[in-house]
Chains A and B, each alone.
Chain A
Amino acid sequence: MVDAFWAGLERVLSAEVLLALLGGTVFGWIIGVLPGLGSLNALAIALPLSFYWPPVLAMYFFAGIIGAASQGGAITSILLNMPGEAQNAATMFDGHPLARQGKASWTLGISAGASVYGAFFGILVLVVLIPVFLPILLAFGPAEKFWVMVFGLVTLALSLQGDFWKGLVAVCVGILLTFIGIGGPGLVVERFTFGSSFLQDGLHLVAVVIGLLVVSESVAYLAMSVRGTTTARLVADLSHRRSFGAEVLDALRGLLVPFRYPATFLRGSVIGTAIGAIPGVGGTVAQFLSYNAAMSASKDPTSFGKGNPEGVVAAESAVNAKEGGTLLPTFLFGIPGNAEMALVLAAWQIHGIQAGPFFLERHADLAWALILGLFVANVIASLMTIGTVGLTSWVPRLDVGYMAPAVLVLVAISLVAIRGSVLDLGVGLLAGLLGFGLQRFGYPAIGTVIGFVLGGSIEQNYYTALQSARGSYAVFVASPISVVLLAATLLAPMVMLTLKLRRRAAPPLSRKRAG
């Protein structure tokens, strides 16, 4: 592991890796700047390309996208009062008022700084915790792995927005989709193929994940376009623009601002890392939790929402710290920490790489590619943010009417490019319509995605455990780890639902926003 770290560090400095990182960072940053689009779109478009690259290079490219997209999203939050990604929404609350006060460059510097330091924190926690968890994980047999995945899915359903029961249904739908094709506990048989030779191989992971997550969002984006939504306008006053050098100096001063709020920064980073480690919970939750916590702890909470730099620090540190957190369940259990990690797992599976306890031993180079890549991408993205501060007026008045069909077309091209098969396009379309319907009617599509990603492993471990015990179900409660996980799986919903009921009964926290 340590050797792999040094090897990874050396590799990061090589030309081809830097090129891959830079490419992914620029791509992710630009996509992040475009309102309504995010790292998922960028990953979906890049995924078919990764088939033709060595897996390590592909990971660096993906790390670039993931690390940079949220910083790109923060720019539009601050300048346009419109988040580039949903997870940058809280940055708007104080970022945009600051921009309107003529401090756009300084605020962009704060955002860039908080992002990099937050990302570093999250990665540091990950690196420290991996050696702690790894020996425990190596003691996991098929029954324990089955329970850890079930527990992960139940906590995922608890963490998602909306109804818990619908979350569980969404997860089950995802698991059921994995049963299509050839499989079974003994001699493999055709299951739900309807006589189709195409379906014998099962639904392609990438097509389904892109369909459920990206096509469904693209449909909603297209609906915006049909509705006639145009851009948010650049509201920040640019009539007193200074020289480029002065703007950059302001941004550099902004980089130091997070150090003025160490408690806020640390709190945000801890929240972000912890939230990131819970599968399925995204940066949006982390950001708002951190922002609300900072406001509650502040001596002057009424200043939040009116241009308090502490608000920007709280929001951005959490969003970027979560990236380290999301890698924890992804590496250790093969449970994607968020939607982006679901796509990363899809890429691993395509290259024949299985996540899990042995992943770090067998593919340490991939792991370090992601870890180091995330950090370096954040640094590069911060430099890009600072380097473009003097050019804020170039942020175009973007018309969703033009972007929406373009996004859908790019996604369609990606689907066709997976295997060159138009049938994958059909799978992506159907998955997209399913995802759109699920989300529209209260079933979190991300639950379906993660259920689909894990379904195969859950089935494999279930039947392996049963076969090892000659069909005795006692194997699922035979070890202390299994018993603890089973108890946690049953108790977690009870505890969380009780807390939710209590929260509903309590008076809501008040929060003022600047108009």
Chain B
Amino acid sequence: MNAARESLARRWPALTFDLALLAVLLWVVWESTRPTFRGGHLIALVAGFAAALLLLVLVRALLAGQEPGLPIVAEEVAALAGAPAEGAAGASLPAWRHEWLAVGYTVALFALVYVLGTVLGCVAFVFGFLALHRPRGVLRNLMMALAVGALVPYLFGGPVGLHLWEGVIPTLIPGWIGGAPPPPL
């Protein structure tokens, strides 16, 4: 019984993902088979086929145990690099927390860019991240933040002439920071 519980505890994230994906696929099938839908029957075919396969995968997973995830390239490199440095801030956390933190940081970066603009958002993100995870060397962190967060966007936006998002905050530096109207969805 304990072994079964442990197995389920280990597998619930994957099962949750699979079920969520199945729910989306079934919803697509339902939407695309409504009489008022004029977008073609291929959608229902593809979604239905995928849903059927996923049901097969789920049944097999429930009966025989979930297969492990696939290696992500960066993790393969990490495995070859060796153990985390001693005293590293995140070293004591379980692996799944690192992933959730990384997801959170990614969302935070994109939110910062939306609000503050490309330049300020990137600088704030890099500096904030380094302040949390590489707290020694404030000046080095600031230089890094400015180099990556400001210099690179400047190169993209200046000499190359690409338009970079300025952010929804009030205008601080015209054309660079602030003043962009929220885009219509």
Q: Do A and B come from one complex?
A: yes
In the complex, B93 has a CB within 8 A of chain A: yes
- Establish whether residues B77 and A86, one from each chain, have CB atoms under 8 Å apart when the complex forms: yes
A198 touches B69 (CB 8 A): no
Q: Is B6 an interface residue (CB 8 A)?
A: no
Contact indicator per residue, chain B 120-135, by CB within 8 Å of chain A (1) or not (0): 0010011001100110
Within 8 A of A (CB), among B56-100: 56-57, 66-78, 80-82, 84-85, 87-91, 93, 95, 98-99
A368 within 8 A of B: no
If A197-B184, A198-B184, A223-B99 touch, whether A408 touches B109 (CB-CB below 8 Å) is yes
B138–chain A nearest beta-carbon distance, Å: 14
A-side contacts of B54, CB under 8 Å: 169
- Does B172 sit within 8 A of A, measured CB to CB? no
Instruction: Across the interface, name the chain A residue whose C-beta is closest to B69.
Output: A440
CA–CA, A420 and B163, complex, Å? 5
Cβ-defined contact, A198 with B113, below 8 A:
no
Q: Is B103 an interface residue (CB 8 A)?
A: yes
Quick check: A409 and B125 within 8 Å, CB to CB?
A: yes
Nearest CB in chain A to that of B153: its residue: A413
Q: Is B38 interfacial (CB-CB < 8 Å)?
A: yes
Pick from B17, B47, B98, B99: contact of A172, CB under 8 Å:
B47
**Interface: B13 (CB within 8 A):** yes
User: In the docked arrangement, what's the CA distance between A186 and B41, Å?
Assistant: 12
- Does A420 lie within 8 Å of B164, measured CB to CB? yes
In the bound complex, how far is the Cα of B183 from the Cα of A420, in angstroms? 11
Q: How far is the CA of A429 from the CA of B102 in the complex (A)?
A: 13
CB atoms of A225 and B133 under 8 A apart: yes
B185 — nearest CB in chain A belongs to which residue? Answer: A196
Chain B, Cβ-Cβ closest to A406: B148
- B76: contacting residue among A89, A216, A222, A462, CB under 8 A: A89
Q: Is B173 an interface residue (CB 8 A)?
A: no
Which A residues between 414 and 463 are near B, CB-CB below 8 angstroms? 416-417, 420-423, 425-426, 429, 432-433, 436-437, 439-444, 459, 462-463
A/B pair count, beta carbons within 8 Å: 265
Q: A169-B50, A417-B164 are in contact. Are A437 and B17 (CB under 8 A)?
A: yes
B156 near A417 with CB under 8 A, answer yes
A192 pairs with B31, CB closer than 8 A = yes
Q: Is residue A83 within 8 Å, beta carbon to beta carbon, of the partner chain?
A: yes
Q: With A92-B80, A198-B185, A416-B165 in contact, is A405–B130 under 8 Å at CB?
A: yes
Chain A residue with the shortest CB-CB distance to B166:
A422
**In the complex, A409→B110 CA distance in Å?**
9
B105 at the interface (CB under 8 A from A): yes
Is residue B23 within 8 Å, beta carbon to beta carbon, of the partner chain? no
Asked if A401 and B70 make an inter-chain contact with CB atoms under 8 angstroms apart, the answer reads: no
CB atoms of A36 and B73 under 8 A apart = yes
B90 near A228 (CB under 8 angstroms)? yes
* Per-position 1/0 for B135-171, Cβ under 8 A of A: 0000000001000110011001000111111000000
Cross-chain contact B74 with A224 (CB below 8 angstroms): yes
Neighbouring B residues of A410 by C-beta, 8 Å = 148, 152
Q: Let me know if A226 and B133 touch, CB within 8 A.
A: yes
Task: Decide: A187 and B38 in contact? CB cutoff 8 A.
Answer: yes
Q: A441-B14, A441-B69 are in contact. Are A416 and B113 (CB under 8 A)?
A: yes
Contacts of B47 in A (CB 8 A): 172, 176
Let me know if B130 and A402 touch, CB within 8 A: yes
Report chain B residues within 8 Å CB of A162: 67, 70
Q: A172 contacts B113, CB within 8 Å?
A: no
For residue B149, give the distance in angstroms from its CB to the closest CB of chain A.
6
Q: How far is the CA of A232 from the CA of B31 in the complex (A)?
A: 52
Q: Bound complex: CA of A184 vs CA of B39, how far in Å? A: 5
Find out whether the CB atom of B13 lies under 8 angstroms from the CB atom of A441.
yes
Min distance, Cβ A303 to any Cβ of chain B, angstroms: 22
Taking a contact as CB atoms under 8 Å apart, the answer to whether A441 and B18 are in contact is: yes
Do residues A184 and B38 form an inter-chain contact, with CB atoms below 8 A? yes
Contact of B106 with A413 in the complex, beta carbons under 8 Å: no
Q: Is B103 a contact partner of A436 (Cβ separation < 8 A)?
A: yes
Q: Is the CB of B101 within 8 A of A223?
A: yes
Give every chain B residue within 8 A of A141 (Cβ-Cβ): none
Question: Per-position contact with B for A66-94: 1 when CB-CB < 8 Å, else 0?
Answer: 00000000000000011101100100100
Can you give 10 A-B contacts (C-beta < 8 A)?
Answer: A36-B77, A166-B67, A218-B106, A219-B99, A232-B81, A413-B118, A416-B165, A425-B165, A432-B106, A442-B70
Known: A49-B160, A406-B148, A408-B106. 10 other contacts (CB 8 A): A82-B77, A169-B57, A219-B99, A224-B74, A228-B84, A229-B81, A229-B88, A413-B118, A436-B99, A441-B13
